[in-house]
Amino acid sequence: MKEIIEVISLFLGFVGWIMIFISLEDQYWKESTTDGSVITTSTIYENLWMSCASDSTGIYNCRDFPSLFALPGYIQASRALMIAAIVFGTFGLVATLAGMQCSKIGGENYILKGRIAAIGGVFFLLQGICTMIAVSWYAANITQQFFDQFYPGTKYEIGEGLYIGWSSATLSICGGSCLLCACRIITPNDKIPYPYQPSSRGHVLSTVAMSQSVPSNYDRNAYV
């Protein structure tokens, strides 16, 4: 059962790691809202790296953000957190592959392999936490600007890229938690039950003692 949980945890962490790349490549982290507009001639959508615009004819144009320091602080922080999540996920995959009981890496020292797998679970948790903070912080700014009556700029709504990021974070956190639960190391204070197996010598002695204790119906003089 433990090996199955480790495989499932590795699968969840790997899928969450792949979904980080999908979320970063998605251009729809936020999309201009159509609330209160009768006729919409263009749509603006952005992610962490670029801003795009498309019109009603389907023609679109994208441009990268020209300056890193001119960006708002939450975009810079979200970039750093997403890159950190990729790094943590890479370390988590390597550590989990090395610490799984079904792998041949590290020999048969299962205590050491369990500790390495637990470290992989911690990396998966860090991956999920960084992703969750990045997408939630980005979404919080979108929501704050949308409900601000005095905000003069373009208002946006939450795009599909953020939902992919939330799914990635959830899978990574679930995978790391399951891996930590599966890799609980037995401490010296834990009692390991052993089945009772009586020794053959004691069985022979008890048999001899029983045979000597049984009274005989014949007197010693009856034997010739």
Instruction: Identify the band that residue 80 occupies on the pLDDT scale cut at 50, 70 and 90.
Output: very high
Report the pLDDT value the prediction gives residue 200, as an integer from 0 to 100: 47
Cα–Cα distance measured from residue 37 to residue 61, given in angstroms and rounded to the nearest whole number: 22
Report the pLDDT value the prediction gives residue 145, as an integer from 0 to 100: 84
Report the pLDDT value the prediction gives residue 41, as an integer from 0 to 100: 64
Closest CA to 145 of 13, 21, 69, 33: 33
Amino acid at 137: W
With both helix axes pointing from N to C terminus, report the angle between 73-99 and 2-25 in degrees, rounded to the nearest 10. 150
pLDDT at 59 over 90: no
Q: Is residue 108 part of a domain?
A: yes
Q: Is residue 7 part of a domain?
A: yes
Q: Is residue 151 part of a domain?
A: yes
Q: Is residue 114 part of a domain?
A: yes
Question: Phi then psi for 63, rounded to 5 degrees?
Answer: -140, 140
Is the pLDDT higher at 140 or at 210?
140
Token output for 150:
């005095």
Is the pLDDT higher at 187 or at 213?
213
Helices assigned H by DSSP within the chain: 2-25, 73-99, 110-146, 160-182, 200-213
Cα angle 218, 220, 221; round to 5: 100
Q: Is residue 155 part of a domain?
A: yes
Q: Is residue 126 part of a domain?
A: yes
Per the prediction, the chain carries an average pLDDT of 79
Report the pLDDT value the prediction gives residue 203, as an integer from 0 to 100: 47
Residues 148-192: pLDDT tens digits? 888 787 788 898 999 999 999 999 999 999 888 877 644 344 444
Residues 4-53: pLDDT tens digits? 888 888 899 999 999 999 999 988 898 887 665 545 667 888 889 988 88
* CB neighbour class for 112 (10 Å; exposed up to 12, middle 13-18, buried from 19): middle
Q: Is residue 220 part of a domain?
A: no
Q: Is residue 150 part of a domain?
A: yes
- The strand pairing partners of 157, in sequence order, are 31
Report the pLDDT value the prediction gives residue 40, as an integer from 0 to 100: 60
**Which CATH number characterizes residue 168's domain?**
1.20.140.150
Cα–Cα distance measured from residue 194 to residue 87, given in angstroms and rounded to the nearest whole number: 44
Report the pLDDT value the prediction gives residue 197, as an integer from 0 to 100: 53
Report the pLDDT value the prediction gives residue 65, as an integer from 0 to 100: 86
How many domains would you assign to the chain?
1
Residues 89-131: pLDDT tens digits? 999 999 888 887 776 666 667 677 888 888 999 999 999 999 9
Domain holding 140, by residue range, is 2-182
Cα–Cα distance measured from residue 142 to residue 167, given in angstroms and rounded to the nearest whole number: 19
